[in-house]
Amino acid sequence: MVIPLTETRDKAQAAASPTATYIPAPSEFYRQAGPALDAFKRRINYLRISLTDRCNFRCFYCMPEHGAHFAPRDQLLTDEELLRVVRAAAAVGFEKIRLTGGEPSLRRNIVEIVREIAATPGIREISMTTNALRLAELAQPLKDAGLTRVNISIDSLNPDKFRMLTRGGDFGRVWAGIEAAQRVGFNPLKLNAVVVRGMNDDEVADLARLTVDEPWQFRFIEMMPLAGVGELAEQSVVPTTEIIARLEQVYGALEFVGWFGSDPARTYRIPGAQGTLGFISSITEPFCSTCNRMRLTADGKLHLCLLRDNELDLRDALRGGASDDDLAALMRQAVWLKPWGHGLPEGIKPTLRGMSELGG
Ligand code: SAM
Ligand code: SF4
């Protein structure tokens, strides 16, 4: 079933929206020119692409230790299919691409994929979120191929705890990846930690200290209740206000720097620090009203809102003979159908997809 097009869809209607399905013959509405706007007049110009649902870590807040769901390989988009989607996205006004996963650096041909996306007319910025395990060797080739920035996940500075949190991750290799990212000039370098009560909440001051001498942004993320980790998230989310209070006990009052456009992170600074701190409060202070993003899953679905089920199947369209114009029209349709927000405060259950399938 498809949501009827109307300028007056409100939050409640959006909350009740069903999963969108592929329409073989999109209406003329979706073929109009101009930037892609959703039904709430948000301009959607940022596509996060999950290059693979596989990962070389098993972070306990993201994937189960055993039995994670992986799509069969023939269901994953090929490089050519992926690049067709990027061109269609650019044609309707998407300007920013982020490569994520699973672990995007595990994708075969990653450097070539970056090069092709960077060369796509209309794409201004291509970045990557990575666990950095392969970054020491890949940073320079990725930079040369046109990657503009990286965000690196690092939830602990204690190698033993890091291994436990990631279920096997090698802190030394990740740190070498961070150094390589800085050396080749991925600026500003952003580091991310999901803060989980009883696991790494006692480390927030140490993590934040990294910004004192380095011009990095360290971002603290509230844990979200995606598939496989829902119960853990309910018990373990540490609200941003609590993280800030812990930091202020150590560093004194943080300076508010700003909350810029569609950036989900509110930015602060330890007085006198070179870098900044970012706080992403998806649970306690959702930023849905300024959302500018959509996601492409590794198996070719446009996923319209992180925590919702609404998806539009581009893989079927690609493999069913859709032209470039058809793909662009589908992108525009997906944008229009984007729900208002994740709906957790209204009691909407999160999607059954895991974070590693959706790309965070
Ligand atoms: N493997 C890469 C990495 O870890 O950076 C990219 C994929 S990962 C799914 C993307 C982002 O999602 C990371 O910053 C990760 O910390 C975050 N993430 C994973 N599970 C999460 C959860 N339950 N709540 C909030 N963020 C989560
Ligand atoms: Fe892998 Fe990233 Fe998920 Fe960790 S957060 S398991 S590195 S996809």
Write down the pLDDT at residue 98.
Answer: 98
CB 104 within 8 A of CB 130: yes
Pocket-testing residue among 62, 162, 173, ligand 1, by greatest number of atoms within 8 A of Cβ: 62
Taking the centre of ligand 2 as the mean of its atom positions, its distance from the CA of residue 328, in whole angstroms, is: 31
Taking the centre of ligand 2 as the mean of its atom positions, its distance from the CA of residue 213, in whole angstroms, is: 27
**What is the distance between the alpha carbons of residues 70 and 57, in angstroms, rounded to a whole number?**
14
Q: What is the pTM of this model?
A: 0.92
One digit per residue, the tens of pLDDT, for the chain of length 360 reads 333 333 334 355 455 554 545 444 456 677 777 788 888 889 999 999 999 999 999 998 999 888 888 999 999 999 999 999 999 999 999 999 999 999 999 999 999 999 999 999 999 999 999 999 999 999 999 999 999 999 999 999 999 999 999 999 999 999 999 999 999 999 999 999 999 999 999 999 999 999 999 999 999 999 988 877 777 778 889 999 999 999 999 999 999 999 888 888 999 999 999 999 999 998 888 888 889 999 999 999 999 998 888 899 999 999 999 999 999 999 999 998 888 877 776 777 778 788 888 888
Ligand 1 closest atom vs CA 151:
5
**Residue 105, both tokens:** 């650096």
Ligand nearest to the CA of 228: 1
Taking the centre of ligand 1 as the mean of its atom positions, its distance from the CA of residue 326, in whole angstroms, is: 32
Write down the pLDDT at residue 204.
Answer: 98
Ligand 1 closest atom vs CA 152:
5
Report the length, in residues, of the chain.
Answer: 360
* 210 closest CA partner among 238, 236, 188: 188
3-state secondary structure of 194: strand
User: For tokens 């853990």, what's the residue?
Assistant: 232
Pocket-testing residue among 51, 52, 53, 55, ligand 2, by greatest number of atoms within 8 A of Cβ: 55
**What is the distance between the alpha carbons of residues 139 and 183, in angstroms, rounded to a whole number?**
9
**What is the distance between the alpha carbons of residues 41 and 28, in angstroms, rounded to a whole number?**
19
3-state secondary structure of 48: strand
Torsions phi, psi for 75 (to 5 deg): -90, -10
User: For tokens 């503009």, what's the residue?
Assistant: 148
Taking the centre of ligand 1 as the mean of its atom positions, its distance from the CA of residue 130, in whole angstroms, is: 9
CB 180 within 8 A of CB 139: yes
**What is the distance between the alpha carbons of residues 90 and 96, in angstroms, rounded to a whole number?**
9
DSSP string, 210-279: HHHHS--EEEEEE----TT-HHHHHHHB--HHHHHHHHHHHH-SPEEEE--TT-S-EEEE-TT-SSEEEE
Query: From the CB of 153, is ligand 1 less than 6 Å away?
Result: yes
User: For tokens 């490089």, what's the residue?
Assistant: 79
Torsions phi, psi for 129 (to 5 deg): -105, 125
**What is the distance between the alpha carbons of residues 197 and 360, in angstroms, rounded to a whole number?**
20
Taking the centre of ligand 2 as the mean of its atom positions, its distance from the CA of residue 227, in whole angstroms, is: 14
Residues with CB under 6 A from ligand 2: 55, 57-59, 62-63, 101-103, 131, 153, 355-356
Ligand nearest to the CA of 102: 2
DSSP string, 148-162: -EEEEE---SSHHHH
Query: From the CB of 229, is ligand 1 less than 6 Å away?
Result: yes
**Residue 31, both tokens:** 């073929």
User: For tokens 């032209």, what's the residue?
Assistant: 323
The secondary structure of residue 338, as a DSSP letter, is -
Taking the centre of ligand 2 as the mean of its atom positions, its distance from the CA of residue 49, in whole angstroms, is: 15
- Positive or negative, the CA dihedral 215, 273, 223, 62 is positive
Taking the centre of ligand 1 as the mean of its atom positions, its distance from the CA of residue 352, in whole angstroms, is: 16
CB 102 within 8 A of CB 54: yes
Write down the pLDDT at residue 10.
Answer: 39
Nearest protein Cα to ligand 1, atom 5: 130
**What is the distance between the alpha carbons of residues 172 and 186, in angstroms, rounded to a whole number?**
20
What domains sit in the chain, N to C, each tagged with a CATH number?
11-19+30-63+70-358 (3.20.20.70)
* 150 closest CA partner among 98, 86, 82: 98
Torsions phi, psi for 211 (to 5 deg): -85, -5
3-state secondary structure of 10: coil
Write down the pLDDT at residue 229.
Answer: 79
Taking the centre of ligand 1 as the mean of its atom positions, its distance from the CA of residue 24, in whole angstroms, is: 34
